[in-house]
Amino acid sequence: MALAGSDAGANPAASTEKWSSRFAFIMAAVGSAVGLGNLWRFPAETGVNGGGAFVIFYIFCVVLIGLPVLLSETLIGRAGQSSAIESMKNVARKSGASPLWSLGAAVGMVGAFLILTFYSVIAGWVIYYAGVFINDVSSSLSSGNISGGAFAGMNADAIQDILPALHKNADMMIAMHALFMAITIFVVARGVHGGIEKVAVWLMPMFFLLFLGVTIYSLSTGDTSRALDFLFSFDAQRLLDPKVQLSALGQALFSLSLGSAMMITYGSYASRDTNLAKTSGMIATADTSVAIIAGLAIFPIVFAAGLSAEGGPTLLFATLPTAFQSMPFGSIIGLLFFVMVFFAALTSSVALLEASVSWAVTRFNANRAMLAVGFGLVAFVIGTWASFSFNSQSKLYLLNFGIFEEQNVFNFLDKLTGSVLLPVSALLVAIFVGWVADKQLVDEENGMSGAPHMIWRFLIAWLCPLVIGVILITGLFPQIVG
């Protein structure tokens, strides 16, 4: 059933923008999914959570929870034809249910906004590192040694010191964060066609090209077997650890951009002839492959350099420069690497900002550019506050219990979104699509039939709510299980 004419007339929130092609939709959605979540957060979380057990549970969550929820979110968007919250309200109304179900999208929207705050800080580090490598390329060019490694003549300690030095230089860190946020605002202000889609269609293919190059290179030179061992061998005890499970669930949702209102928003721009089930499969496959391959590329370097896998948020930045030092053409490869990470980060940050901007555009009928600037500025300020976590000695703990125990502002925001807001939003979406939304309406949107359809129905109605619910409770209150 399409939106009834009277509905659309009474509802200024009906969305008008559409992707110009299926390719554009796929690139934008894959661009939103593939980002710092794969290249920075996945290796960091894997290291902190002990490797194999985390990775196995993460893959379990991607296939059995992420994929069904991804399809559910895009179909809510396309059936609701508006920003995330309004779309969910529209579907609820058409199903004769309470519009309060849109709380699921609202929680996700707040989550996406809070992710943007710290995401931009890390993306700022990426820009800074690209700058470091540009310098290095130019100095190796002038010394006629471009085929050698990066940072010629620098000792290992000095290289390890690049990141702590940046952390001490608060002005620089904030300037880079500001620059990245400004670029994000600029793209979102230009709209779905003129901004988001253009960036995705150009940058994502370039990203994949660079990613392929860097991966082939690192797999052929690094200690892959040790990395494979770390990523896939696990002890069963850790697999049952509720904190590991909650982190893995959070990482799966974060990486697929789920539980963040965002895939609902992008789904609303999809045309009727796009098969949402197939597209969801492609997005999940691309996203998960990039994460695993990034792990395979990064851990050999970590081990070869004798560094600890538990570096957390700093892992990517502390380890890679060391590796580029011992690679032929290290400065150029290092530069390409950080350019590639920047592309991936930008196509994700515009999605993060778009979730709230599109809501405000439809809700208040207001100017998109002004809203992008407004939301972006607030996110910038909160992000700046979070960035102090890296350069001040005195730690600020916002909530000091459970998973939040002794977490600085930065880690607090990361945990609040990944381990609370995204899972709660995904849980509400699953219950909504599995039980509340009109079956006929849902089935018209999902593009599936036969056995796959039945499996999806079972997963979204039973397995997803149950597993997300249990993991949330046991992960947040581990004392319950023991």
Please report, as ranges, the residues that interact with ligand PHE according to CB under 6 A. Answer: 32-33, 35-38, 112, 115, 254-255, 257, 260, 262, 348, 351-352
Task: Determine how many CB atoms are found less than 10 A away from the CB of residue 395.
Answer: 11
Does residue 202 contact residue 270 with C-beta atoms inside 8 Å? no
Task: Determine how many CB atoms are found less than 10 A away from the CB of residue 10.
Answer: 10
Residue closer to ligand PHE, measured from CB, 120 or 474: 120
Cα torsion for 42, 191, 417, 61, to the nearest 10°? -50
At how many degrees (to 10) do helices 315-325 and 103-142 cross? 20
- Shortest Å distance, C-beta 289 to ligand PHE: 13
Residue closer to ligand PHE, measured from CB, 163 or 352: 352
Residue closer to ligand PHE, measured from CB, 227 or 351: 351
Of residues 375, 418, 349, the one with CA closest to residue 33: 349
- Shortest Å distance, C-beta 29 to ligand PHE: 10
Residue closer to ligand PHE, measured from CB, 112 or 159: 112
- Shortest Å distance, C-beta 425 to ligand PHE: 10
Count how many Cα atoms sit within 13 Å of the Cα of residue 146 in the half-sphere of its side chain: 10
Cα torsion for 465, 61, 451, 269, to the nearest 10°? 80
Q: Taken in order 183, 188, 190, 194, is the CA torsion positive or negative?
A: positive
Q: How far is CA 147 from CA 151, 320, 325, 377, 385, in A?
A: 12, 18, 11, 42, 41
- Shortest Å distance, C-beta 351 to ligand PHE: 4
Q: What element of type H or E holds 344?
A: helix 330-364
Residue closer to ligand PHE, measured from CB, 176 or 291: 291
CB closest to ligand PHE, residue no: 37
Name the maximum alpha-carbon separation found in the chain: 72
Of residues 34, 15, 89, the one with CA closest to residue 265: 15
- Shortest Å distance, C-beta 393 to ligand PHE: 30
- Shortest Å distance, C-beta 291 to ligand PHE: 8
d(CA 105, CA 274): 22
- Shortest Å distance, C-beta 62 to ligand PHE: 12
Residue closer to ligand PHE, measured from CB, 181 or 327: 181
At how many degrees (to 10) do helices 103-142 and 422-431 cross? 130
Distance of CA 434 to the CA centre of its chain: 25
d(CA 62, CA 249): 8
- Shortest Å distance, C-beta 6 to ligand PHE: 33
d(CA 194, CA 19): 11
- Shortest Å distance, C-beta 260 to ligand PHE: 4
Residue closer to ligand PHE, measured from CB, 327 or 421: 421
Residue closer to ligand PHE, measured from CB, 14 or 67: 67
d(CA 411, CA 423): 17
Residue closer to ligand PHE, measured from CB, 55 or 137: 55
